[in-house]
Amino acid sequence: MIFFAIIINSFLSSRYIDNYFKGYVTEQYEDEVDKIKNYAIKLLNNDNYTAEKSKEELMNFIDEFIVQISIENESAEELVKVYNRMYFMHNNMMGNRNNLEVDYYELTYDEKVIGAIKITRTASIQNSESVRLFKKALILATVISGTIVLVLAVIITAIISTRITKDLRQTAKFAKEIETESEERINYSKVIEIRGIQTSLENLASRLRMQKKVRQEKVDQLSHEARTPLTILKAHCEGTIDGVVEMDSNRLESCLNEINNLSGIMSNLNNVIEYNNEVVNINKETFDLIDEFKKIIRGLKIQYEQKGIELKLKGPLNMKITTDKALLSQTIYNLLTNAYKFTRLKGEVLIEIDNSSQDSLYIAVHDNGIGINEKDIKRIFEPYYRGSDTNNIQGDGLGLYISKTNIEAIGGTIQVKSNEKEGTSFVIQIPY
C-alpha cells in the first residue's frame, strides 16, 4: 500500500513539475519575442543603422528555439536576416526539414505599420532538446527519490513494527504478572492505543492491590476487635479460678456482653471474602450511654486493678443517645485499652462526658501515662503505625486507626492532645 502511494505521489509530482517547466519555457519564448519586436522597431526608426551591426545584435536572440530572424520594412523588403547555421546544417544532414514553424508579427509605431518580423522556430518549443533533457533528469530524479523514500518507508515500518511488537509483548507479560500479584511497573509505550491498554491494566492492578490491602486491614481490624473481649473474659475466668473475683450477676452480665461482641465479630468474618470497599455499615439504635460505659468499665476493672490503675467515669447519671452502639463502644474499648497499656502503675484514667452543648456530645478519655511526642501525634491515627516509644509495649498499631474510622463513620471527630511524660487525652465529638 505504501509502495503504491509513493508511486502515485511521484507521478503526480513529476507531472506538475513538467507542466510548470513547459509553461515556463513558453513564457520565456514570448519574452524573447517581445525583445526582438522592440529591437526591430528601434532599427526601423533608425536611418543610420548598418546591416552588419544589426546582424551581430540579432544573433544574441538566436538559440535552440529561435533558429532564424528576418526583419522587413513596410514594403516587405528584407532588411536584416540572421539564422543558426549549425542548426540548419545538422537538420539538412539528418534530412529533418519539416520540424520548423514561422511566426509572423507586424510592427507598429504611433499606430502605423512600419514593418514586420519573421521568427523561425522549432515546431514545438515544449518538445525541444532542453525540455527533453529536463524530462529525462526529472524522471531519473523521481525514480531515485521514490526509491529512497520506499527504502526509508520500509526501514521506518520495520522499526515501528519491532517497537509495537516489543510493547505488546511487554503488555502481555504485565497482564500475566497481575495474576501473580507482582508490583513491577510497566514502561509506557509511545503508541497511544497501546498506552491506553497499559494504563487500564495498571489501574486494574492498582485496584486489585488496594482491594487486597483493604481485605487484609479488615481482617486485622476484626482480629484486633476480638482481642479486647477475649482479654476481658480471660481476666474474669482467671480471677474466679484464683478466688479473687466473685462471679456475681453483674460480672456474668459483663461476660455475656463480651460474648455477644465476639459473636458479632465472628459474623463479620463472613463478609471479609466479599469485602470490596472501606464503607462501614451503620446500625443506629437508642441506648443509655452512661449504662453502656459502666458495662465497659466493669469489663475492664479486673485488668486495671491488676496494675493498680484507677478507672473513673465523670458525667451525668444517665443519658439517652441514638447512634451506632457497637462502633462507639468499640472505640471506647480501644481508647481505654491504650490508656491501660501506656499508664504507669497506680496511675489514673478518666472517662469524661460533656453534654452541655446543644449540638454535640463530647467524650474525653484522659490518662496520666507516658504521653506521645509531637512527631508521633501527626501519624498516630495511621494504620499499623506505632510510636517511637512503644517498642516494649505489645500492639499492632490498629486500635487508634479503628477508633478514628468508627467515629467518622457515625459523623463525629476524634482528636488527641498529649504532653510527653504527663499524659494523653483523646476527645471525641459526635452530633446528637
- Going by their DSSP bridges, the two strands 348-354 and 310-314 should be labelled as parallel
Calpha distance 76→93 (Å, rounded):
32
Q: Where are the alpha helices (DSSP H) in 243-287?
A: 249-272
- Going by their DSSP bridges, the two strands 100-109 and 78-83 should be labelled as unpaired
| Cβ neighbourhood burial of 159 (10 Å; 0-12, 13-18, 19+) | exposed
- Please report, as a single letter, which amino acid is at residue 129: E
Q: What's the pLDDT tens digit per position in 385-426?
A: 777 666 566 666 778 888 898 999 999 999 999 988 889 999
Q: What's the pLDDT tens digit per position in 308-334?
A: 999 999 999 899 999 999 889 989 988
Calpha distance 286→306 (Å, rounded):
34
Class at the top of the CATH hierarchy for domain 220-431 = alpha beta
Considering only residues 409 and 200, tell me which one the structure prediction assigns the higher pLDDT. 409
Highest mean pLDDT: which range of 62-71, 220-229, 362-371 = 362-371
3-state secondary structure of 76: coil
Residue with C-alpha cell 525540455?
131
**Confidence bin at 207 (pLDDT 50/70/90):** low
285's enclosing H/E stretch is strand 284-288
3-state secondary structure of 253: helix
| Cβ neighbourhood burial of 414 (10 Å; 0-12, 13-18, 19+) | buried
pTM for this prediction: 0.46
Calpha distance 422→369 (Å, rounded):
6
Q: For residue 104, report the phi and psi dihedrals to the nearest 5 degrees.
A: -110, 130
* Whole-number Cα distances in Å, 112 to 74, 79, 106: 10, 18, 10
**Confidence bin at 97 (pLDDT 50/70/90):** low
Report pLDDT for 375.
85
DSSP 127: G
91's enclosing H/E stretch is helix 85-94
Calpha distance 190→344 (Å, rounded):
62
Cβ pair 39, 58 in contact under 8 A: yes
Report pLDDT for 98.
56
* Whole-number Cα distances in Å, 278 to 206, 216, 267, 272: 16, 11, 17, 11
15's enclosing H/E stretch is helix 2-44
Cβ pair 221, 199 in contact under 8 A: no
Strand-pair partners of 285 = 323
Cβ pair 316, 290 in contact under 8 A: yes
Q: Which of 117, 113, 92 is nearest to 102 (CA)?
A: 117
Calpha distance 391→127 (Å, rounded):
100
Q: What's the pLDDT tens digit per position in 249-296?
A: 777 777 777 776 666 666 555 554 444 444 567 889 999 999 999 988
- C-alpha dihedral, 25 to 30 to 33 to 35, nearest 10°: -100
Strand-pair partners of 431 = 360
Highest mean pLDDT: which range of 52-56, 105-109, 152-156, 244-248 = 105-109
CA angle 109, 113, 114 (to 5 degrees): 75
Cβ pair 217, 383 in contact under 8 A: yes
Average pLDDT score over the chain? 79
Q: What's the pLDDT tens digit per position in 107-151?
A: 888 888 889 999 888 766 555 566 666 667 767 777 787 788 778
Q: Which of 267, 232, 425, 403 is nearest to 327 (CA)?
A: 403
Least confident of 55-69, 154-168, 263-277, 392-406: 263-277
Mean pLDDT of the region 169-178 = 75
